[in-house]
Structure 1
Amino acid sequence: MSQIQRVLAQGNFDGLCLIYSLFNAFKALKRPKEQAAKFARDHRDQWIVVIGNTPSLHNFVLGSGSVFGIQSDEMDVKVKRAFIATSFDVMTEESNDSCTVTATDIQSLVTMDFTKSVAVLCVKKRAKFENGGMGEHWITIVGRDDELGKYLVACSNTLLHYGFTERQDEQTGRFYNTTIDVAGITKATVYSDYINQVHVSKR
């Protein structure tokens, strides 16, 4: 297969892993085979609106990531989930699609139907992907290989750190560029309150 990028990477728009995980989730659900460059061009307006709605944008740019300056963990979870849901509303505003963002947990990922959904979550520094760690990082799980016991991950950071590694999931047709063991998703490696199932349906 020729090396045509289909998983969005930091640099197609800017350098914000939470935002990239959301756009990778939407792309995986709606346009999995489309080249990333075309998707970025076609969704530039949505990108601008989502960036405009981002709390504490300076923290993203300064490398602090999705630190919104909220003191309590409970409120931080609510704010991030609301931001994620609002971002998908922006992406589907001018279409017949509707995105549902639902809080889910580690155990539910094991049985989630990835033909209809994806998962957006934040991993901790201890999380180990096929090529190593990523630090604290937002990712999109686009599928699961039950035979190998692996989650298939669209990661905005992999291209920069490990080169071009994209493959296609035969079951969903989606592209991914790294994997993580199903058994490797635990409370020690994932912020369990920040696991979101994303589903797209027609209005």
Structure 2
Amino acid sequence: MSNNYSTEELVSYGIGRQMGQQLADNPFDGVSPAAVAQGLLDALNGVEMPYSNEQMQAAFGEINERMQAKEAEQSKTLAAAGEAFLAENAKKAGITVTASGLQYEVITQGSGAIPTKTSKVKTHYHGTLIDGTVFDSSVNRGQPIDFPVGGVIAGWTEALQLMPVGSKWRLYIPHNLAYGERGAGASIKPYSALIFDVELLDIVS
């Protein structure tokens, strides 16, 4: 696009860019940029739809089924990878496995009070996927966070009720004690096992 654009052209480009970004963020196999552009032009020019509503509904239905099938396969793969990782991890020295399947490793054992489910605590944490991808970290932000023990994922709730203040533990959390079949945001896919380094700094209330 030329730098000698009008205000109208700039806004028009921005609209097209936003639409393109939405497609890029939520892609489906076989998307045709040319067909997308043609649909946009036809709508703007008032061209009559060349396909019936039934044809369009059938096409969207088929693509939706394909995407759901693909997501299901990806979820199975992630679940299997997480289960395999945790099975091997459980064999390592220093790993404790609870009845729920939560695994933890004590890095530093504190000597303070232990929170209850109704406590509010201050923690520092660093969260990764099992491949090492960082998805959230109060450590990286340089700002600890306060939250209720009973208001977080089940793996955290269980671990915090075992940790004395001053402790730093590494938690290995199976998907059913994390975000399960929902996942969370773009980084945590459904059925993902998670790893957290958690430092319990204080019981706030």
Q: How high is the TM-score relative to the length of structure 2?
A: 0.26
Greater helix share, structure number: 2
TM-score calculated relative to the size of structure 1: 0.26
Which has the bigger relative contact order, CA under 8 A and spacing at least 6? 1
